[in-house]
Amino acid sequence: MYEVKNFEGDFYLEGDKFYKKPRRELNNPLLQLNRTASLLRQLLLSLGLNTPIEANVVFTHPAFTLYQAPLDSPIIFPNQITNHLRMINNQATKLTNKSERIAAKLLQLNKTESPHQRLPSFRYEELQKGTICPACRMFSMVSGRGICKCESCGHKESVTTTVLRQVEEFQLLFPERKLTTREIYK
């Protein structure tokens, strides 16, 4: 199992903490890896499958550096990926019935539609019409002399930027409706 990260820059470990230099704390990928591996083990056990899991964090960006990493950490650095894949290919063995059962059960559990991609149901006629401020999300944008200004938070942007944003939002929310000047004006 792999936890893949595409971080760029200089990072360091300090105990269980993971930092981007100079001192911005981020979620520790090693802790994420341990949690994910534990969840996968629990899932496999619930399916009646007791199989060992080898888990690694893979840092893919060539401009990534990690300081103070313990030598025994399950980390694969960018310059180690090719050798790691070569080693795995050399170890490859024939699939067993157990491997096929694991694959079949995981495929059965696979969710093809993400619940995060579904939009709530709504109708055009039900929605409040107007221009939403991109900064505070309030319906308080007013325009004048080529500039739109939010009366709530003071955010300013060009009318062109506002209109283009409105067009993108309209197309996202109503892909079946014809895009016209009148529709965007509403």
| Per-residue pLDDT reduced to its tens digit, 138-178 | 999 999 899 999 999 999 999 999 999 999 999 988 889 99
How many angstroms separate the CA atoms of 127 and 135, rounded?
Answer: 20
In-domain check, residue 113? no
Domain count, the chain: 2
| Per-residue pLDDT reduced to its tens digit, 84-101 | 999 998 886 777 888 888
In-domain check, residue 38? yes
| Cβ–Cβ under 8 Å, residues 133 and 153 | yes
Residues 67 and 139 in one domain: no
Residues 135 and 174 in one domain: yes
In-domain check, residue 171? yes
Question: What does the buried/exposed string (b/e) look like for 151-181 if buried means 16 or more CB atoms within 10 Å of the residue's CB?
Answer: eeeebebeeeebbeebeeebeeeeeeeeeee
Residues 78 and 134 in one domain: no
Residues 79 and 37 in one domain: yes
Q: Which of 95, 116, 141 is the last residue of a domain?
A: 95
Residue 157, domain extent: 124-185
Which of 5-14, 40-49, 54-63 bottoms out in mean pLDDT, i.e. has the lowest? 40-49
Residues 9 and 90 in one domain: yes
How many angstroms separate the CA atoms of 103 and 65, rounded?
Answer: 35
Q: Which of 95, 115, 145 is the last residue of a domain?
A: 95
Which residue do the tokens 């009318």 mark?
159
Q: Which of 47, 75, 95 is the last residue of a domain?
A: 95
In-domain check, residue 77? yes
pLDDT of residue 122: 85
List, in sequence order, every residue forming a beta bridge with 118; answer none if it has no partner.
Answer: none
Which of 47-61, 99-113, 160-174 bottoms out in mean pLDDT, i.e. has the lowest? 99-113
In the predicted model, is pLDDT for residue 184 greater than 80?
yes
In the predicted model, is pLDDT for residue 120 greater than 80?
no
List the one residue out of 167, 165, 161, 168 whose CA is nearest residue 180: 167
In-domain check, residue 109? no
In-domain check, residue 181? yes
